[in-house]
Structure 1
Amino acid sequence: MPSLKDKVIIITGASRGIGRAMALRFAKEGATIVIAAKSDKPHPKLPGTIHTVAEEVEQAGGNAIAVALDVRKELQVKKLCDRIGDEFGRIDAVINNAGAISLTKVEETSPKRYDLMQQINSRAVYCLAYYALPYLKKSDNPHILNLSPPVNLEEKWLKDFSPYTLSKYGMSILSKGMAAEFKPYGIAVNTLWPQTYIATAAIEFAVGNKDTLNYARKPEIMADAAHVVLTHPSNYYTGLWLIDEEVLKAAKVTDFSQYAYNPEFENQIQKDLFLD
């Protein structure tokens, strides 16, 4: 079974939710996790900082590097990639997990909020790839994994929150292009999206409320799926718009009940956005 032992992995937005779950999953195999997020200090409403997750990573058996990062700040992104690349001689994987969401129509979305979503979502994918590229080239199995959906042009995904949809589809389209561009370097570029709601702050505060979490799966399903992706050979497993459940089924996972946030609602779990 392929392992992530000693792999150097940058995860943005890793102070909570899916990013944290990925960090802990990879740490179990002895990976070096760069926990890159804005959460340098405790949030009044949300648990977790880069430092608390770093402690958890170390306890799980990994090597943790906590870095305060705003993915909108180009110089911060460059400094991060150069620091990690110089220290380890390579970067093995970059996971673009940081995100901004506002399920609002154009009429209800301020230019400031619109810019925020484009910068944190699609622009950050470009920026991280641009500055990590020289170091990814030095890895023996380099991956870029972006948390964005398959592009679905059904009107219902466009009319009510097209600013957000555009930012996420931008990530997916850019991923397809980079997969083709970086193929000669052996760098895989894929996207990963959940089949269902995932119990995160985004679902609780932007999509529904605390009760909505009952109809979700735990972030660990995305972490397990990401592990499958990162342990595939990068020279051919690339250019894919992946769904967590499909990835795990292909890896012979059959018990999905383990991922239910609330087992009592296991048969009522809600399908995620952008999936018909």
Structure 2
Amino acid sequence: MSGGSRGIGLAIARRFAQAGANIAICSKTAEPHPKLPGTIHETAEQVIALGGKALPIVMDVRDEKAVQAAVAETVSVFGGIDICINNAAAFWMEHSMATATKRHDLLFDINERGAFLVTQACYPHLKKSDNPHILSLAPPLDLKPVWFKYTSPYSVSKFAVSLYSLGWASEFKEDRIAVNTLWPRVGIDSPAAIVHGGDALRSEFRKPEIMADAAFAITTKPSDTFTGNFCIDDTLLYEEGVRDLEQYSMVPGNALVPDYFVPESIPAPPGVKLSTPRLYDFYEDDE
């Protein structure tokens, strides 16, 4: 898994650890961040405490050689790779003309190119797995103008991963490698979300464990039958039979603030209450 020092990545690592998984946590956060908590070593300690095996690897997804070395080390230690999770991401919500070239390049180097490099390095080993999966944290392909109007650099970098996933699902079908994406319906409580969205919204967020449970459900399905899907966390879990979605709310009973990129064609499960979309300031109907 790329990333994994905090937030959704940490929750995913913890969920797989509960199942006794071997987890390579590949991120460049080996030392504490000045503003954000968590390191790969702290995640590794939690994985081991929960019954899994951990391999923390310092890796920058922008560095091709570092990615290849991380994958090689993972195979050397664990004997192979069954699941590739593209979790690392750069976040920047701003107009295109207000985005510096350096910021633009960072978005694409981490979001688009990083997912490509990690997947490419894992691919030969996934072909040898009995149930291989690639899961990327990327949105459904919904080409509504408002998704791009105010944040096109970030949006295009994330939708690029969705397009890759669409193509890979077909490209890797003969290899029996499942390729799916996962995205949250509402705001997820994480250090990065608090930095960008503000602490006031936390009462309308869900815990990152909902994404972790959804990721586990997806990647434990048969790879030859469940592929090419753009999954929304609560819809996926509801289809899996989960009815108590309140367990994931930071404040049970509260209405939840919708996340970005969730299409109207994927309605919320019964009983889910959504608040006014205001995780960002530029929601609007755009024909």
Instruction: Please classify the TM superposition score into its range, dividing by the shorter chain length.
Output: over 0.9
Deviation at 1:29, TM superposition (A): 1.0
Give matches, 1:90-105, under 5 Å.
90-105=80-95
Q: Which amino acid aligns with 1:249?
A: Y
Paired residue secondary structure (1:34): strand
2:42 counterpart of 1:52: yes
Note if contact 1:203-1:212 (Cα within 8 Å) is conserved in structure 2: no
1:13 aligns with 2:14: no
Deviation at 1:124, TM superposition (A): 1.3
Whether 1:200 aligns to 2:190 is yes
Q: What secondary structure sits across from 1:133 in the alignment? A: helix
Is structure 2 residue 255 aligned with structure 1 residue 268? yes
Partner SS for 1:12: coil
Moved more, 167-176 or 124-133: 124-133
Q: CA deviation at 1:179?
A: 0.8
Q: Which letter maps to 2:256?
A: I
Shift of 1:89: 3.0
Q: Distance in 2 between matches of 1:214 and 1:203?
A: 13
Is the 1:89–1:138 contact (alpha carbons within 8 Å) kept by the matching residues of 2? no
User: 2:113 aligned to 117, 123, 138, which one?
Assistant: 123
Query: Once the 2 structures are TM-superposed, how far is the Cα of residue 151 of structure 1 from its aligned partner?
Result: 1.6
Q: For 2:172, what is the secondary structure of its paired residue?
A: helix
1:262 CA displacement: 2.4
The residue identity in structure 1 corresponding to 2:219 is L
User: What is the TM-score when the length of structure 2 is the normalising length?
Assistant: 0.89
Equivalent residue, structure 2, for 1:250: 239
State how far apart, in whole Å, the 2-side matches of 1:200 and 1:267 are. Answer: 18
Matches within 5 A, 1:9-158: 11-158=1-148
Superposed displacement of residue 88, structure 1: 3.0
SS at match of 1:146: strand
Kindly indicate whether the alpha-carbon contact (under 8 Å) linking 1:89 and 1:135 is maintained by their aligned counterparts in 2.
no
Give the letter for the 2:227 counterpart. Answer: T
User: 1:175 deviation in Å?
Assistant: 0.4
- Provide the identity percentage: 46
Alpha carbons 2:22, 2:78 under 8 Å: kept: no
Q: Distance in 2 between matches of 1:201 and 1:153?
A: 29
Distance 1:157 1:59 in 2: 40
Following the alignment from structure 2 to structure 1, what is the Cα–Cα distance between the partners of residues 251 and 61?
Answer: 33
Query: 1:153 Cα shift?
Result: 1.4
For residues 34-72 of structure 1, the C-alpha deviation after alignment (integer angstroms, 9 at most, x for no partner) is: 111111001122111101110110000000000111111
Q: Distance in 1 between matches of 2:237 and 2:140?
A: 17
Q: Which residue of structure 2 aligns with residue 8 of structure 1?
A: none
Alpha-carbon offset, residue 202 of structure 1: 2.9
Partner of 2:215: 226
1:59-115 per-position Cα deviation (integer Å, ceiling 9, x unaligned) = 000000001111111100011111212333320001111111110011111111111
Q: Which stretches in structure 1 are left out of the alignment for 5+ residues? A: 1-10
4+ residue runs of structure 1 moved beyond 4 angstroms?
none
The amino acid of 1:17's aligned partner reads: G
Structure 2 residue runs without a partner (length 5+): 265-287
Q: Which amino acid aligns with 1:180?
A: S
